[in-house]
Every structure is written in C-alpha cells, then in structure tokens.
A and B are shown apart, each in its own frame.
Chain A
Amino acid sequence: MEPELAIALPAAGSACAAMLKTRPKAAVVSAASLGLAGVAAIVVYAPGSTSEQLGFAFSVSAESRALVIAAAAALALVVALAPLLVERATLLTWGLAGLSGMVAIAAATSIEIVILVVLALAALQAAAPGKRPFATRLRGPVLAATLLAVAAAAARSDGPSILSRLAAVALVAGLFAALGAMPYIHEFDAEERTATSPVPWMAFIGPVMVLAVLTQARALVPSEGAAVGAMMIALGLINMLWGSVASWRTEGGAAAWHYSFMADWGLALCGLGLAIADGRRAAVLVLLGIVLSRLPLYLWSRQALREKRPNDRPINLLASAMLAGAAPFAGFAARVLLLRGATQLYWPLALVIGLGLLLWLPPSLRLGRSLGLPRGRQAWGVGIALAVNAAIGLYPQPFLSLAGL
C-alpha cells in the first residue's frame, strides 16, 4: 500500500495547500503533514516489491526511491528556508504535486502510465499562471509523450529490425524531449516562476522519469541496448559541451543556470548510456547533486539574479567549486566513476569526457557569484546544500546503497 499512499498523500497535500491559499499557515501545516506522511510511506517501502491493492500494479525501484527521497529532502529544505509563509505554501503546492507525480512515474509498471503521468503534469504546469504561453509550455512534454508512445508502439509490433531501431531512437529522443535537453531545449523565460518554467522537468521530475523510462526500455527494446547507449552517450556529450559553454557565455544569469542543468544532465546521460555499474553509479550521484544541491542553489540565486548583485564571498567560491564538480564535492566522485566506467568500455571516450569536464569551471564561477550574498535562512540553506553535497562526495556509499547500487 505504500506506493499508493506515497502518490495520494502528497497529491492531497498539494490540493490542501492550493485550496487554503488564503490561509497560508493552515495550508503549510496541512500540506507539510500530508507530504511528510507520503514521504514516510516511501521511506518504509521495500524497493522492488509490488503492490496491487487498488487493482493497479505499483513497484518502485531502489534507484527511483532514492531519488524520490532526495527530491523530498530538497523540497523540505527549500520550503523550510523560504523567507515568507506565502512562498512556502506556493512551494508546497507545486512541490507536492510534482512529488506525487514523481512517485507515480517511479511506481508505474508500464511505459504508458509514465507517459500519461507526464501528460497530466504537463497540463497542470501549463495551466498555471506564468510568463510563457500555454502552448509553449506544453510542447516539450507533449513531444516527449508522443515519441515515447511511438517508441512503445514500434517496440511492441512485429516487423523488420528497423522497427526496433526506430523504437530506440524515439525512446531516446522522447527522454531528451521530456527533460528539455539538447536538441529539444524547452523555451526558457528568465522572469518566469521556477514551478512553471522548464527547470522542474530537468531538476525535479526528470531524474526519476529518466530512470523509470530506461527501466521500461530494457523490456521494450532488449536488442537495442547498444544503440540506446550510444545515442545517450553521444547526446550526453553534446549536452555537456553545449550546456557548459552556453552557461558560460549566455547573457542572462537565469539562463546560465538553465544551461548548467543541461550540462549536468549530459554527464548523467553519459553515465546511464555506459550501461555498466560504474556509469549508473556516476549518474545517480550526478542526479542526487542536481536534486539536492543545484536546484536549491538555483532557487536561492533568483533574488540575487533579479537584483543583479553578484558576490565573491567564501560561500560563493565554495558553491562554485561544488557546481564545478571539484573535490570533495559529489561531482568529483561522480566524475571518477564515470572515467572508470568509460575506461572499461572504450578508453578514448574517457579522454573525451575528461576533457569535457574542464568546461564546467568557467560557468560554475559565474553561477557561484550569481548567488549574491546569502543571508539569514538562505545562508543556512546554501551551507546545508554544500555540506550535503560534500558528504555525498566524500562518502557516497550510503547514498549508492540506498539506490541499490
């Protein structure tokens, strides 16, 4: 029953927060209680076990469970350290809705359910007040859903071998479209609220969605594992290059953050494409870094970005190091694993990845500065995000064990 509760309780919490928005205190208390109960359900859940109590089969893998817990922790951190009560209620409304969708995606036993949840989340996000037009917000996720559905149709039909190859192409393209990674970058508006921007697709829902789709892909196109891996590595490298260079050179500070998520995703997708244990471990560490550190830092940088007051304090420098994947942060451990995994597969790939890793520094220095001078709760938040990331970097084993790796 735990997966069902983990879906329903955060959804109920989100609904409560939305309905009680005129009474922020009640909204926060009720939503937080329901959200915590949902998280507790997923924490006590034994990964891999199937629950069919409502007629639907639900099963969450250890990797997805770890990322859901990480996302919940990130949400708790951001909500707890938000400066205003109203802001907390809004964060809870959107965060818990996303969390509920994430668990639904993670627990889905067929790719169609994943696609349908993506469509539901896309509609929900597109309907919210925001700067970008409704149609623009829908495009990326709908393209992803269409491509994934085409992939499922092609994979399930008998026919020539090109069908399964096309299924693999559509699957990978669908994944990238869902994330909003190169070449399917979702239009980004720097002035838009984070909840309605493309960022949640990359930094909140994306990690679980990619793992869920790839789990389904193994069953859908078992003979195309090599092609899927090759495409993911190739597009991953393109995203690494594009994301880091664009993040460095783009004019807008918020856009730089958006591209930096892309660069990190490039790394994670390379790891997942390697299809060996080290690659997967590297990817999980990068994804944990995205959810637990990069996303909160992005949220806290928004104010400073608006006010255009970059800073070079020690905390900014530490944040830069963390974003660049320098030791002792999680990015470094992930890079070590990725290099080792790439060496096992094909050493020139490790060389290319290794050279690509150096591109992270210039944009990271820029992003670190863009945090401004964090004060009060925000300073504590940045400190906690850095400490958690350093803990993952120095001793990733417990986090990887949580993910079953």
Chain B
Amino acid sequence: MIVAAAFTAWLGAAVIVLSDGRRALAIGLALTAAAFSALAWAGGEHLAAAAIFVGGGAAAVLRSQTGDDVWGVMPPGSTPRLILSLAGGLLALWIATSLMTGPGAPARFAALSVLGLMGARILTETKPPALLTALSALALSVAMVSGMSGAGAGPSPYIAAAVVALGVSVVHAAGPDGA
C-alpha cells in the first residue's frame, strides 16, 4: 500500500506536469495530496495525514473551479514534459532506493519525485493556474521531507504546508499575465 501511495504521488505530479487544463491539474493535485496523506498515515502521523488530506483536497477543489474548463492533458508539444516526468521519476527512484539507504524509501521517492517535478514545472511554465497548482503540490512535498527526519518533526510542517497549499489556491495572479 505504501509503495502504491508513493507511485500515486509521482503519478499525481506527472499529471500536473503534463496538463494545462483545470480538471487535470485538480486531479493531479488531489492524487498527490491523497498519496501524501496515506504515506503520513502509514508513518503514524495521523494529524499530519488529516491536515494534508484536508488542505490538499480543498486546494484541488478550488483549483477545479478556476481556469480553463478543459482537461488539457498532454497538449501538442508535450514530449519534453513526458520525458521530464519519466526521467524525473526514475532519477527520484534511484536516489531514494539506491543512493539513500535505510527505511522509508517509498516516502523518500514520493517526496523527491514530487519536489523535483514541481520545481521543474514552475521553472519552465508561464501560465498561472499550472504554476499555482505546482506550488501547492510543492508545499505538500516539503512537508513530506520533514517526515524523513528520524525524530519526526511533528504535525506542524504538515499543517503549515496544508495552509500554504490552500492559500496558494486562492491566489489570483494580477501581473501582466494574470489569470
């Protein structure tokens, strides 16, 4: 179940990378949030899991209500994004399982893959809805990193991440390319 959750998190991130429409972005974010929530729950962080689920879920719902009402999965010219999703996933998998040792490899893979893909998405994207969705997922993955510490960071980073993910989803870009 943990491994499935980890791959689901990657899948969610990959969907965010590959999509431009609000429906697919919302689903990607929801998948990622649900996977993170499951991983946190499996790690015994129940409050953290709930926070991630609520924050991520609410952010996904908000995302599904703003932006172009289309799926927009893999629009023309998405080949580099597809390669990024696959290569990023593989790289994260190698780092989480081979380079890094010790227990918690699925959580590491989930956190690193989402972190890397969302970072890359934000650095290469220009449309605010996709950027804000990636930002929400990035915030959630940052909280997952805190779970990698042996002592456990407690629920505070998860709660903070949920608040940020939710807050980012209500943001409306007012710049020259604002949504």
Asked if residues A119 and B168 are in contact (CB atoms below 8 Å), the reply is yes
Binary interface encoding of chain A residues 277-306 relative to chain B, with 1 for a CB under 8 A from any of its CBs, else 0: 000000000000000000000000000000
B140-161 contacts to A (CB < 8 Å):
141-143, 145-146, 148-150, 153, 155-157, 159-161
Q: Return the chain B residue nearest A153 by Cβ.
A: B145
Q: Are B143 and A112 in contact (CB under 8 A)?
A: yes
* Known contacts A132-B176, A139-B123, A160-B99; 10 further A-B pairs (Cβ under 8 A): A112-B143, A127-B178, A133-B175, A133-B176, A134-B177, A135-B131, A143-B119, A145-B138, A157-B101, A158-B102
* Least CB distance, B149 to chain A, in whole angstroms: 5
Rounded to whole angstroms, the CA-CA distance of A110 and B48 in the bound complex is: 15
**Interface set of B (CB-CB < 8 Å, partner A):** 99-102, 108, 111-112, 115-116, 118-119, 122-123, 125-128, 131-132, 135, 138-139, 141-143, 145-146, 148-150, 153, 155-157, 159-161, 164, 167-168, 171-178
Cβ contacts A to B, 16 pairs, < 8 Å: A112-B145, A113-B160, A126-B173, A130-B176, A134-B126, A134-B173, A135-B125, A135-B131, A139-B122, A146-B118, A146-B119, A153-B111, A153-B148, A157-B108, A159-B101, A159-B102
- By beta carbon, the residue of chain B nearest A139 is B123
On chain A, the residues within 8 Å of B142 by CB distance are: 112, 115-116, 119, 145, 149
The smallest C-beta distance from B102 to any residue of chain A, in angstroms, reads 4
Known contacts A116-B161, A119-B142, A139-B123: does B135 contact A157 (CB below 8 Å)?
no
Contact, CB under 8 Å: B168 / A123: yes
Q: Is the CB of A146 within 8 A of B135?
A: no
Contact status of A56 and B156, CB under 8 A, knowing A134-B131, A139-B123, A145-B138? yes
Please, which residues of chain B bring their CB within 8 A of the CB of A150?
112, 115-116
Instruction: Tell yes or no: A350 within 8 A of B by CB.
Output: no
* Interfacial residues, chain A to chain B (CB-CB below 8 A): 55-57, 110, 112-113, 115-117, 119-120, 123-124, 126-135, 137-139, 142-143, 145-146, 149-150, 152-154, 156-160, 163
Query: What are the residues of chain A within 8 A of B146 when measuring CB–CB?
Result: 110, 112, 152
Q: Is the CB of B122 within 8 A of A156?
A: no
Contact A157 B100 (CB under 8 A): yes
Minimal beta-carbon separation of B1 from chain A (angstroms): 22
CA distance A356 to B123 in the complex (A): 33
Bound Cα distance from A159 to B171, whole angstroms: 39
- Assembled-state Cα–Cα distance A16/B118 (Å): 33
Chain A residues near B100: list those with CB within 8 A: 154, 157-159, 163
Contacts of A139 in B (CB 8 A): 122-123
Give the Cβ gap from B64 to chain A, nearest Cβ, in Å. 19
Partner of B174, one of A128, A146, A156: A128
Please report the C-alpha to C-alpha distance between residue A9 and residue B148 in the assembled complex, in whole angstroms. Answer: 33
Q: Which residues of B contact A126 (CB under 8 A)?
A: 171, 173, 175
- Contact partner of A112 (CB less than 8 A), chosen from B116, B125, B153, B176, is B153
Q: Which of A112, A137, A145 has the most CB of B within 10 A?
A: A112
Say yes or no: A163 contacts B99, CB within 8 Å.
yes
A116 pairs with B164, CB closer than 8 A: yes
| CB-based contact B138/A119 at 8 Å | yes
Within the complex, the shortest CB–CB distance from B92 to chain A, in Å, comes to 10
CA distance A149 to B142 in the complex (A): 6
Q: Is the CB of B175 within 8 A of A142?
A: no
Known: A112-B146, A134-B175. A146 touches B138 (CB 8 A): yes
Which 7 residue pairs spanning A and B have beta carbons closest together?
A146-B119, A157-B100, A158-B102, A112-B157, A134-B173, A112-B146, A156-B148
